[in-house]
Amino acid sequence: MTHFLTKACLAAVLGLSSIPATVSTAAAAGPQTNFIVEAQYHRPIRGCSPVHAVRKARDFGLRRAHITRMSPRVVVVAGRDRRGWDRMVFANVRGCPLIRR
């Protein structure tokens, strides 16, 4: 019987002592988490934006890159390469994967 009472008292002390620790931590993290969530929110991109396609073409080495054609399936970016005029065709989906150069 004494072992049961000892274990019950120990469990009660541990349970009661952990309540203030969790409340203070949760109260401190509340406003910061809310701020971070609001700062990182952005609307989802459904397709390849023209700005993203031009940036990607410039990363591939196209100078003076600009959009020449945009359809529901492809985004065509033209510009100058080291060999002359060149164009790149991107798929009009999220991430703008390169179809052909």
Cβ atoms of residues 82 and 71 within 8 Å: no
What residues contact 101, with CB distance under 8 A and at least 6 apart? Answer: 60, 86, 87, 88, 89
How far apart CA 55 and CA 96 sit, in angstroms, is 10
What are the tens digits of pLDDT across the range 6-64? 877 667 766 667 666 555 555 555 555 545 555 555 566 678 888 899 999 999 999 99
Residues comprising the chain, all counted: 101
pTM of the model: 0.54
Cβ atoms of residues 37 and 54 within 8 Å: no
Cβ atoms of residues 88 and 96 within 8 Å: no
